[in-house]
Homo-oligomer: A and B are copies of this chain.
Amino acid sequence: MEVIKSARTMQRHAAELRQRGKRIGFVPTMGYLHAGHLSLVDAARPHCDVLVMSIYVNPTQFGENEDFDAYPRDFDRDFRLARERGVDTLFYPDTAELYPENHATSVRVEGLEEKLCGQSRPTHFRGVTTIVAKLFHIVHPDIAVFGQKDAQQAIILQRMVRDLFFPVRILVAPIVREADGLAMSSRNTYLSPEEREQALALYRGLQQAKKRVESGEANSNIIIDEIRSIWRQQPNLREDYISIVDLDNLEPLSQINQCALIAVAAYVGTTRLIDNIMIDKDGTHALKIKNT
């Protein structure tokens, strides 16, 4: 596995690979790799000849009072895990090159970036779309894989790719969970043992919601209230949002018909966690989100 730090070197390398007819698969990460990230590598593998992973904690997707400085970093461990999993090229750029002096350009996906997590993180998604646009131009992938854990991110990026005609296909890989159901996240390391326990309520609420939908409940408010009542049993858990939305436009759905995204965010202590499940009664939408 080679490590490339310079964006210009990475860009030339990608151009050479494509010139030689190689298909490039891309897994962008902020590092501190866990099984969720590594599952993205597995998802990309069948679609490419050369697999590029980036590790970059992107400052512009953190708000002013968020955890950019505290975000966990461990390059040596990430290097080992990526190599073991079969990554071919690790792209490890720095901010001075990705955001040069007088950087002024941003990519926005209006109408989607303000919803769900955008309510409490108003500049988050423009940070994501901007860095991903850069990375796509540098790595020039044929396919890129993102996790369903960040469902809104995946939906926004698919819209960006479609709208701007990026020559890349975005695949979305399923959420990977700990044995007890907690969705994998680099931020889980912030949790105390007690908070870790209370954080399970996110998944329990979603499981209960799924059960209720499967048994015929279609009223979103009833389902949201049930999740909320499960959460209320945890003293250190504070709701950010519990939303049932359309998978295309992220608009709230009062009724769950064929498909929906049930997306939740909560603070457990001071740590903000997100989770979601997709309701997909006839199986067509999951295909869509996974193979666009």
Tell me the residues in window 152-166 of chain A with beta carbons closer than 8 Å to chain B beta carbons.
159-160, 162-166
Q: Does A137 count as interface, using CB distance less than 8 angstroms? A: yes
Stretch at the interface among A46-54, A104-112, A210-218: A104-112
Number of interface residues of A (CB under 8 A): 35
* A163 touching B112 in the complex, CB below 8 Å, given contacts A19-B19, A19-B21, A21-B19: no
B105 touches A107 (CB 8 A): yes
- Min CB distance A253 to B, Å, is 16
B167 touches A105 (CB 8 A): no
**DSSP majority for the A interface?**
mixed
Q: Which B residues touch A111, using CB under 8 A?
A: 102, 104
Q: Does A149 count as interface, using CB distance less than 8 angstroms? A: no
- Min CB distance A156 to B, Å, is 9
Residue of A7, A103, A109, A164 contacting most chain B CB atoms (<10 Å): A164
Q: Does A193 count as interface, using CB distance less than 8 angstroms? A: no
Q: Which B residues touch A235, using CB under 8 A?
A: none
Q: Does A81 count as interface, using CB distance less than 8 angstroms? A: no
Residue of B nearest to A249 (CB): B102
Q: Does A138 count as interface, using CB distance less than 8 angstroms? A: yes
